[in-house]
Amino acid sequence: MIYAIISDIHANLEALQRTLEIIKERAVDEIICLGDIVGYGANPNECVELVRENCSSIVIGNHDAAAIDLSAADDFHASAKKAIVWTANQLTGVNKEFLSSLPLVVKKEEILFVHASPNSPELWDYIIDPIDIKVALGFIQEKICFFGHTHIPGIFSMHGKEKSVSSLDQYIVNVGSVGQPRDRNPMLAFGIFNSSSWSYELIRSAYAFQQAAEKIYRVGLPEELGFRLMYGM
């Protein structure tokens, strides 16, 4: 099976549309979404609907959870909280119900899919340093775990950061962010994993980020949320 794995769209319609265009050009069997479909961006309903139409499996992210229960945004920074309150007011009842139905994890073959840390997915912990990596790898039973949440792509094993994956070791892989990259590269990011050849490819692409930013300004969301799209931060 060949999986396209997308994460952290954050209501960025332009980035999601470009991602789906790229995926259609590839021989992909399934599209998996690792959550945070909404939050920050100006097109929450459109992005939820595109994900529903195109993804075979979807897990919930912390911004998705906060959009259906604002108490989950208590620890968000000020701009994120303003954006999620706006998002909650924009989402249709159907889309809120859909988000509330999403699981925390999905398993396929020897693969685990989760938004945040696999050892405590409901706590939305970040995998940032070597200790986080080792804890996560020590918890999972699967050969490979794909996650998002930090918006920074990377492949990790017990040995540290890796350049590729193989069937001979165990890995956790951050696929980066479709809609709000934070590795100082404004290009959208997602991954393609082939479970037959056990190979992984990180995909980066330019998209109409200026258009996405202008929408954020137009609807009155915090300007920094649009500004950061242009710098990948």
Domain residue ranges in the chain: 2-230
| Helix 13-24 × helix 209-218 angle, to 10° | 150
Lowest mean pLDDT among 69-73, 95-99, 102-106: 69-73
Question: Looking at residues 165-172, what average pLDDT do you find?
Answer: 95
Residues near 129 by beta carbon (within 8 Å), at least 6 away in sequence: none
pLDDT at 145 over 90: yes
The tokens 């940032």 sit on which residue? 128
pTM given for the model: 0.97
- Domain 2-230 CATH assignment equals 3.60.21.10: yes
Q: With residue 132 as reference, give the H or E element that holds it.
A: helix 130-139
pLDDT classification of 203: cutoffs 50, 70, 90: very high
pLDDT classification of 66: cutoffs 50, 70, 90: very high
pLDDT at 67 over 90: yes
Percent of the chain scoring above 70 in pLDDT: 100
Using alpha carbons, select from 147, 33, 24 the residue that is nearest to residue 98.
Answer: 33
Per-residue pLDDT at 233: 87
**Average pLDDT in the chain:** 96
